[in-house]
Structure 1
Amino acid sequence: MGRARRSRQRARRQRSRTRRRRGPLAPRRARRRLGGLRSARRGRARGAHRDLRDAVPGAGSRAAVRRRHRRDAPARRDHARARRAGRPRRLPVRRARRPGGGLRRTRPGDRGVHGGIGRAPDRRRAGGRPGPPARSRRTVPRVPPVRLPAGFAVALDRETSFWSGGTVATGGSPWKVVRLAEAARPHLAALRRAGPGGLADSSPVGRALARRLLDLGMAHPVPAPRPGPHDVTVVIPAFGRAGELERCLAAVAGVPVIVVDDGSPDPEPLRKAAEAHGARLVRQPRNRGPAAARNTGLRLAGTPFVAFVDSDCRPGAGWLDVLLPHFDDPRVAAVAPRVVPDGDGGPALLARYEAARSALDMGVRPALVRPGGRLGFVPTATLLVRVAAVEGDAFDEDLRLGEDVDFVWRLGDLGWNVRYEPAAQVTHTGRLRPADWARRRHEYGTSAPDLARRHSGRLAPARPSMWNLAVLGLLAGGRPGAAGVCAGVSAALLARRLSRLPADWSLAVALVGKGVVADAAGLGHALRREWWPLGMLTLAACPRSRLARAAATAMLAPIALEWLRQRPSVDPVRYTVLRLAEDAAYGSGVTAASARARSAAPLRPDVRLPAAFRRTARDHSPS
């Protein structure tokens, strides 16, 4: 009975959409156009054209037919010219080769990917031969699965957890809930028993499971270090600062090095430093930014891997031995080491704070780098890249800042994996004068509008759920009972959706609790950074407002927990003040650049509606 009711409701929605779009006579015209096909959907004839128009030529509204006719006109013309010229007959190009040999859906007029990254991981034929080349420069985000080599060891991420007797897993980057197939559960149990040391399961099911867990971010590679020599070229963009370049060249001795002078006012010290260490020096006539300098070095490199190293960085011993084995996974395009301060600042307060929380230090845990995940980007202060993953220029030369974020996100959109490996460490000389330190954080924030224009929706300062906002609002208003009822209703609805996995109530309750805490932390983070003026007013209003005290708790509680976990050599009060100053400096850059660009995208939150509202909005959206 429930199925019949849903069918009637679906037909009613289709009829209402059809009337809004074409008027009350649209169903009759649609039946006439479908002709004999109406009997196939006799129970839903009045709205059948919406379901059949993608599968049946000519089905759908007249406007949709005209749009498809105009869209496919270039392909039909090319097909007609090929037939007249006597070339082999082919269908109009609605399906093009996916890079590496697979097929993908495409449309005439597809353009190349911005910035030059245009290759996806090779899908090998039998015998290891590469597949045919791509027919289109545009690459879709979803690429064919690439098998892991035999003996490739992986270990589960420590935040990956299992529910319902091991049938459901949660975790990954971004965080998600997945159902585990029956055949994979014994292999997963062996992987759980292996612990942090990892397991190399060479069976077909084990390798497929490892491939899936790596792509989800629920597991990480555990490659053994591989001593050199290595087929790598180091590219160092430099602008002045010959003393730092000297120390960097000494740290990367033993591999080919290309130093790109990015239009330094006095090129002679850089030339002497490069000659002293046997590095190749390339000079650009004017300063074009680090992205252009890296692209210049990339074009001159003749090795399968290129390491981008900034002149103020010094890689540690054996850094390539640790990073290069990650490329045994054919889907890995780049690997970043951990970048830590060099500690030359002495006992100064800012130096001690940087030692605990540097902007370039991504932490002690390995991670899959994905937007929206635990690690959304990695800096290109030091980054090892597979040359086969890029075409032409890797970095967008229009970006003076944020080019590393743009580069990593475009690689992920093409189906490549970017990994963070903290076992390899690089020291970095930071800016420890307060004015320089604050100015650099402000400059980081100015890249937000450009990134928001290139990557729509990814720069939202907060992405709270409507349910979680209701719970947090009731808690802030002093109504914990109503907040508990709201959270219970949310858990009940979520448990109903999760019952298809199957999953029990405990998972739904855990997800709701995790979501409320995460959204509270996200709102507090936005109040410290992008919405920092509102955050400062909130802190000032704490003595007079219950709501302000709740918002201040969301702002300050994550900082307190961070201090308790790290125990830095800075007292908690000054640590909190410096953290607020750092976030406000970054947020001021975001607001200033957004005002200049006349864009509110980096400041606008993305509120996630409940599933029922999303369906209603989708039903009422124009087709």
Structure 2
Amino acid sequence: MTVVVPHYNDLPALGRCLNALQAQTLSADAFEIVVADNASPQGEAAVAAVIAGRARLLTVSERGAGPARNAGVGAAQAPIIAFTDSDCVPEPGWLKAGLSALERYDIVGGQMEVLVDPSRPKTGAEAFEQVFAFRNDRYIRDKGFSVSANLFCSRKVFTIVGGFGVGLSEDVDWCHRATSLGFMIGFAEAAVVGHPARVDWPELLIKWRRINYEGYHLALKEGRRLRWMLSTYLLPASVLAHLPHVMASRSLGGRRERMSAIMTLTRLRAWRLIDAHRLFFGLRR
């Protein structure tokens, strides 16, 4: 198995990711790690120093996680590919559980856990993400895709489907292309990867600016631009629909955290509606 880890400009997170991969219950000689670095500004020597022999380093000049993943697969030496991101922390049983699930499915997505610092109260962004971010079981079941931070497939499947795209929701696009070719996607609950929550509104906004942009361009590719725009008018009403979910969430510890999540949800849905208009009418690039 080859684990492909795209990376750009976050050396401490890359170190934590590699530490977690070294702690896998799967035998160390059963997998290799390829770090596909998007020419990080610290330079190749600094990235190599963090890797410290734990992975093969591949420098990829074409910017974007999609091209980095594609290059990583091209350099892979194994017939099975596992994808995670450099800011993620796979749990020890991740690789073994994902590999086992590939006996039943052509493509496997695992469970995502949102990580927060337990030593302090959650911010609004963290409370929101603990309820709403990375619901990979629902993505697979209801929308037919897995996030690329926790994805397994064979090299054969990847070659048939083709590489990840650029400038759109590459994980959605790739999985939809795969399932349209008849490949079966499944969920592996025991294949768990942790991802740190965004800690404040600016970080959350960076994430959602990217998601909105990529979602819009995927809709353009799939010929559903108008439907995408019309669906954004449901965003304000969806706040009410999600209130019971916030109030019942076991991830949140009390009234303050629940109210913070609701306020962030409301603010974000309003912002997404405005940003959708900017994209649709060509006011944002």
Tell me if 1:236 matches 2:5.
yes
Quote the Cα distance in structure 2 between the aligned partners of 1:318 and 1:396. 26
Q: After the TM superposition, which residues 172-321 of structure 1 pair with which residues of structure 2 at under 5 Å, given as runs?
A: 232-253=1-22, 254=28, 255-267=31-43, 268-274=45-51, 276-284=52-60, 286-321=61-96
Letter in 1 for 2:101: H
Quote the Cα distance in structure 2 between the aligned partners of 1:317 and 1:386. 21
2:133 equivalent in structure 1: 359
For these two proteins, the number of residue pairs brought into alignment is: 272
What CA deviation, in whole Å up to 9, does each residue of 1:425-446 have, x standing for no partner? 1111232122121221122111
Letter in 2 for 1:391: T
1:187 equivalent in structure 2: none
What CA deviation, in whole Å up to 9, does each residue of 1:333-392 have, x standing for no partner? 321112212222731323651463242233xxx5683xxx62443211221122111227
What CA deviation, in whole Å up to 9, does each residue of 1:103-139 have, x standing for no partner? xxxxxxxxxxxxxxxxxxxxxxxxxxxxxxxxxxxxx
Native 8 Å contact 2:36 2:57 kept in 1: yes
Native 8 Å contact 2:239 2:269 kept in 1: no
Deviation at 1:461, TM superposition (A): 4.6
Q: Normalization by structure 1: what TM-score?
A: 0.40
Letter in 1 for 2:242: I
Q: Which has the higher contact order (CA 8 A, sep 6+)?
A: 2
2:25 equivalent in structure 1: none
1:150 equivalent in structure 2: none
Q: After the TM superposition, which residues 472-491 of structure 1 pair with which residues of structure 2 at under 5 Å, given as runs?
A: none
Deviation at 1:249, TM superposition (A): 0.8
Quote the Cα distance in structure 2 between the aligned partners of 1:368 and 1:438. 21
Tell me if 1:443 matches 2:210.
yes
1:335 equivalent in structure 2: 108
What CA deviation, in whole Å up to 9, does each residue of 1:136-189 have, x standing for no partner? xxxxxxxxxxxxxxxxxxxxxxxxxxxxxxxxxxxxxxxxxxxxxxxxxxxxxx
Query: 1:390 is paired with a residue of what secondary structure?
Result: helix
What CA deviation, in whole Å up to 9, does each residue of 1:184-204 have, x standing for no partner? xxxxxxxxxxxxxxxxxxxxx
1:348 equivalent in structure 2: 122
Query: 1:328 is paired with a residue of what secondary structure?
Result: coil
Residue ranges of structure 2 left out of the alignment (5+ in a row): 23-27
Give the superposed CA RMSD.
2.8
1:578 equivalent in structure 2: 264
Tell me if 1:559 matches 2:245.
no
Structure of higher CA gyration radius? 1
Query: 2:227 is paired with a residue of what secondary structure?
Result: coil
Native 8 Å contact 1:442 1:588 kept in 2: no
Quote the Cα distance in structure 1 between the aligned partners of 2:15 and 2:198. 18
Tell me if 1:422 matches 2:197.
no
Native 8 Å contact 1:349 1:570 kept in 2: no
Deviation at 1:447, TM superposition (A): 1.4
Q: After the TM superposition, which residues 37-48 of structure 1 pair with which residues of structure 2 at under 5 Å, given as runs?
A: none
Native 8 Å contact 2:198 2:204 kept in 1: yes
Q: Closer, same or farther in 2 for the Cα pair 1:591/1:376, shift >3 Å?
A: farther
Deviation at 1:559, TM superposition (A): 1.8
Q: After the TM superposition, which residues 396-415 of structure 1 pair with which residues of structure 2 at under 5 Å, given as runs?
A: 396-397=164-165, 399-415=166-182
Quote the Cα distance in structure 2 between the aligned partners of 1:433 and 1:266. 25
Q: Closer, same or farther in 2 for the Cα pair 1:396/1:317, shift >3 Å?
A: closer
Q: Closer, same or farther in 2 for the Cα pair 1:353/1:570, shift >3 Å?
A: farther
Letter in 1 for 2:131: R
Quote the Cα distance in structure 1 between the aligned partners of 2:85 and 2:226. 26
Per mean C-alpha deviation after superposition, the further-off stretch among 589-598 and 311-320 is 589-598
Q: After the TM superposition, which residues 63-74 of structure 1 pair with which residues of structure 2 at under 5 Å, given as runs?
A: none
2:200 equivalent in structure 1: 433
Tell me if 1:591 matches 2:274.
no
Quote the Cα distance in structure 1 between the aligned partners of 2:39 and 2:181. 33
Q: Closer, same or farther in 2 for the Cα pair 1:396/1:384, shift >3 Å?
A: closer
Letter in 1 for 2:97: V
Letter in 1 for 2:14: L
Quote the Cα distance in structure 2 between the aligned partners of 1:450 and 1:402. 8
